[in-house]
Amino acid sequence: MNKINVLAIAVHPDDVELCCSGTLMMEKLHGKTTGVIDLTRGELGTRGTPALRIQESSAAAKVMELDVRENLCMADGFFQNNEENQRRVIAAIRKFRPEVVLASALTDRHPDHGRAGKLISDSCFLSGLRKVETKDDEGGFQQHWRPKYIFHFIQDRYYSPSFVYDISQVFDRKIDSIRAYSSQFHSRTYDKDEPQTYISSPEFLDSIIGRHQMFGKMIGVRYAEGFITEKMIGIRDLDAFVQLDT
């Protein structure tokens, strides 16, 4: 498999679409390779089925023009940040050798999100240790690899971002990627007799749009996605800053 420059890792299919699909699509426009690793199939979701979620995630991947999307099939709701799961994430990181990992929030309303955020962060560090051995799909030993940056996207709970990324150019496509999950979000075409949930109301998608507008307003653009970094970010040129609200 070819190297993936920017790899998003999230616990549920649709997490990436909600939180950082715009960034992935913008990086793709900038010539980067992009991919997604879903940790679980979202099998505990109130609506839909695991098989349908996989179909929806495949449709969303086409909207985002991803180079790769894989699912590690951990246990939704019950996976732990333990050695077994760390090794699975490490193997994926070493397989794709990303420079940047976009990861789940470190704390959030859904306990899976925070647990996944720490699992991903720990695995990125351990992936750089030579003596942590993992094997590839053919049984060969993998080379160690540590991403340069891990940026945690902001999920349900609001946190002040370390930085925001202008996604105005691809925002309509971001919404299309979210709407690919018709079983999960408000849809006039999904006609199964299933309970309404926190995320299936029209108001939920309105709140997503509003948050991206708020992040965009911070830098004078229409829409942006926010990220939190635990690592200090350095620049070599003051022109790297974007501030359009002058």
Strand ranges inside the chain, DSSP E? 6-10, 34-40, 68-74, 100-103, 149-153, 163-166, 224-229
pLDDT reading at 195 higher than 80: yes
| Burial class of residue 227 (count of CB atoms within 10 Å of its CB; 0-12, 13-18, 19+) | buried
Fill in the amino acid letter for 64: M
What pTM does this model have?
0.95
Digit-coded pLDDT (tens) for 111-127: 999 999 999 999 999 99
Identify the pLDDT of residue 241.
80
Whether the CB-CB separation of 56 and 187 falls below 8 Å is answered with no
Q: Which residues contact 4 (CB under 8 A, 6 or more apart)?
A: 33, 34, 35, 67, 68, 96, 97, 98
Q: Which domains does the chain have, with CATH numbers?
A: 6-232 (3.40.50.10320)
Mean pLDDT, all residues of the chain: 95
Q: How confident is the model at residue 238 (pLDDT cuts 50, 70, 90)?
A: confident
Identify the pLDDT of residue 246.
52
Q: What residues are paired with 149 via a beta bridge?
A: 100
Whether the CB-CB separation of 25 and 32 falls below 8 Å is answered with no
Q: What residues are paired with 224 via a beta bridge?
A: 166
